[in-house]
Structure 1
Amino acid sequence: MSQRLLTETLAATKAAGRAALVSYLPAGFPTVDGGIAALRATLDAGADIVEVGLPHSDPVLDGPVIQTADDRALRGGVRIADVLRTVRDVHAATGKPVLVMSYWNPVSRYGAERFARELADAGGSGCVLPDLPVAESAPWRRHAEEHDLATVFVVAPSSTDRQLADTAAAGTGFVYASALMGVTGKRTSVDEAAAVLTRRLRAVTELPVCVGMGVADGEQAAEVAGFADGVIVGSALVETLLATDDEAMGRAGLERLTARLAAGVRTRTA
């Protein structure tokens, strides 16, 4: 029921009259076990879904905060096996949907069918692939469908209406709408382009639209929840862990921030 769990979760939050909260943290940061505990902390504090980042040596779409965390994870020796263990342990402990967010190159080098099979075996619900072109995605999508995994594509405000329609038609689970142009990172306000992009997507797909990149606090989460089906938060959570070398303090900070974000999506502003 890998993909079904994701679909049911998004349907349940919509039925409850709110957006889903999706948290992101890279695997292996600050350690493999510490990363598992951190992801569990966000779910226990109110996140509905988590994305486990697969650290990459050339994260061209990520800002300095996530790049720093990825570098620490890679220097700590994190491997794809650790990413899959992270998925397995987090899902087993919480029963909530767990996706992997990865650049395409590591998945391709590992073997797309093998990765899909092992991700499904670990209880994963799907994969977010921000740099995989839709036109080149058919082989992966076949493997994902075979193993009941969602394939989530990322769209940006610069996408044409035709690109939005083609991307949404190829994807499953939800569409990841980038709130802004550029790399990941916290922002002081929500860009109007995010709401415009969400409206454009709703005109071409019935898939849920989850908005990410830039959300940093409960107020911004509430604002995005007013027009999106899901609010994705990554950099603000990673920054919280980077702020201390004490893992217990870091998790406590994650719990406080996630609780504020969870409250925000539950008090969505129209």
Structure 2
Amino acid sequence: MTRIDRKFAALKAEGKKAFVSYTMAGDPDYDTSLELMKGLPGAGVDIIELGMPFTDPMADGPTIQLAGQRALDGGQTLQKTLDMAAEFRKGDDDTPIVMMGYYNPIYSRGVDRFLTDAKAAGIDGLIVVDLPPEEDEELCIPAQKAGLNFIRLATPTTDDRRLPKVLQNTSGFVYYVSITGITGAAAAQATDVGPEVARIKAATDLPLIVGFGIRSPETARAIASVADGAVVGSAIVKMVEEKRTVPEILSFVESLAAGAHSA
């Protein structure tokens, strides 16, 4: 079992839904980003999604695009992102870390080297949004063999014909994108998400976590009530952009986590 598997088993035993947070590694700088990351579990975060900054993040809206650019301008690299995870692991060996981003930086580093280094840094899973199931031999299969979960995105346009292909090599959990569009673009609606979650859960035993468009504790609760948990990214990253302090950001994260956990 991976840390992700153990986390979901523990949450299920407690009758709780998961709260997943996304932050961009290196935004606004390495030290602040690491301080924020270290504070997330104490604020109620069950799984940390750590963004890998990239110059062309096609699935992301302006908030996360700008976060990636700030990180890159500040000197963040894939190596520094792995270093952050390793530093975090010195004080926390339980909270799962999922690296989320795009394939180009991984490809540039070399898949075998990246997987070895990610495993050594304490990474538990990968979300690589621009690698479809047709390219599973490229990274997904090697990642699974290395002991990392490979988490796939399902969307409102993933129909019943496409769904089995999306699910076939997915592990850890399924990430359901609640809206058609980019991150931070629209508000998620539990009434829209509920039937889709039920449809996907009928095809897999994996936990299903919903992200995109969740900005408040109330929405986190509503979404978690129809799924296995909720992901918040842009709303947290926006506070970093606004130069809010780490304690202020963690207080907001705590309110989101409480919303999801009360579902």
User: What TM-score range do you get, normalising by the shorter chain?
Assistant: over 0.9
Instruction: Report the equivalent of 1:219.
Output: 218
8 Å CA contact 1:42–1:254 kept in 2: the answer is no
Instruction: Report the equivalent of 1:14.
Output: 12
Instruction: Tell me how far apart the structure 2 counterparts of residues 50 and 211 of structure 1 sit (CA, whole Å).
Output: 14
| Shift of residue 191, structure 1, vs aligned partner | 5.4
Amino acid at match of 1:25: T
* 2:107 pairs with 1:108: yes
Give the 3-state SS of the residue equivalent to 1:139 in structure 2: coil
Residues 108-151 of structure 1: CA deviation (Å, up to 9, x unaligned): 12111111111000011010111111011123123212220000
Amino acid at match of 1:119: A
Instruction: Tell me how far apart the structure 2 counterparts of residues 118 and 197 of structure 1 sit (CA, whole Å).
Output: 36
Instruction: Tell me how far apart the structure 1 counterparts of residues 215 and 233 of structure 2 sit (CA, whole Å).
Output: 9
Instruction: Tell me how far apart the structure 2 counterparts of residues 142 and 154 of structure 1 sit (CA, whole Å).
Output: 16
Instruction: Report the equivalent of 1:184.
Output: 183
Instruction: Report the equivalent of 2:196.
Output: 197
Count of residues in Structure 1 that have an aligned counterpart in Structure 2:
262
Query: Cα RMSD (Å) of the superposition?
Result: 1.4
Amino acid at match of 1:41: G
Which structure 2 segments of 5+ residues have no match? Answer: none
Instruction: Report the equivalent of 1:65.
Output: 63
Instruction: Tell me how far apart the structure 1 counterparts of residues 188 and 178 of structure 2 sit (CA, whole Å).
Output: 11
8 Å CA contact 1:168–1:207 kept in 2: the answer is no
Give the 3-state SS of the residue equivalent to 1:254 in structure 2: helix
Amino acid at match of 2:248: G
Task: Report which stretch shifted further, 51-60 or 84-93.
Answer: 84-93
* 2:171 pairs with 1:152: no
Instruction: Tell me how far apart the structure 2 counterparts of residues 38 and 81 of structure 1 sit (CA, whole Å).
Output: 19
Q: Which runs of 4+ in 1 moved over 6 A?
A: none
**TM-score, normalised via structure 1 length:** 0.93
8 Å CA contact 2:167–2:204 kept in 1: the answer is yes
Give the 3-state SS of the residue equivalent to 1:138 in structure 2: coil
* 2:257 pairs with 1:258: no
| Shift of residue 188, structure 1, vs aligned partner | 4.4
Which structure 1 segments of 5+ residues have no match? Answer: none
Instruction: Report the equivalent of 1:267.
Output: 262
8 Å CA contact 1:240–1:254 kept in 2: the answer is yes
Instruction: Report the equivalent of 1:235.
Output: 234
Amino acid at match of 1:57: T
Instruction: Report the equivalent of 2:88.
Output: 90
8 Å CA contact 1:113–1:140 kept in 2: the answer is no
Instruction: Tell me how far apart the structure 2 counterparts of residues 265 and 18 of structure 1 sit (CA, whole Å).
Output: 8
**TM-score, normalised via structure 2 length:** 0.95
Instruction: Tell me how far apart the structure 1 counterparts of residues 201 and 162 of structure 2 sit (CA, whole Å).
Output: 13
Give the 3-state SS of the residue equivalent to 1:144 in structure 2: helix
Amino acid at match of 2:237: V
Instruction: Tell me how far apart the structure 2 counterparts of residues 61 and 4 of structure 1 sit (CA, whole Å).
Output: 27
Instruction: Report the equivalent of 1:37.
Output: 35
Instruction: Tell me how far apart the structure 2 counterparts of residues 63 and 250 of structure 1 sit (CA, whole Å).
Output: 23
Give the 3-state SS of the residue equivalent to 1:128 in structure 2: strand
8 Å CA contact 1:25–1:237 kept in 2: the answer is yes
Instruction: Tell me how far apart the structure 2 counterparts of residues 164 and 197 of structure 1 sit (CA, whole Å).
Output: 11
Amino acid at match of 1:159: T
| Shift of residue 190, structure 1, vs aligned partner | 2.1
| Shift of residue 187, structure 1, vs aligned partner | 4.1
Residues 32-52 of structure 1: CA deviation (Å, up to 9, x unaligned): 121111112222211011011
| Shift of residue 259, structure 1, vs aligned partner | 1.1
Instruction: Tell me how far apart the structure 2 counterparts of residues 187 and 47 of structure 1 sit (CA, whole Å).
Output: 23
Instruction: Report the equivalent of 2:133.
Output: 134
Instruction: Tell me how far apart the structure 1 counterparts of residues 192 and 86 of structure 2 sit (CA, whole Å).
Output: 36
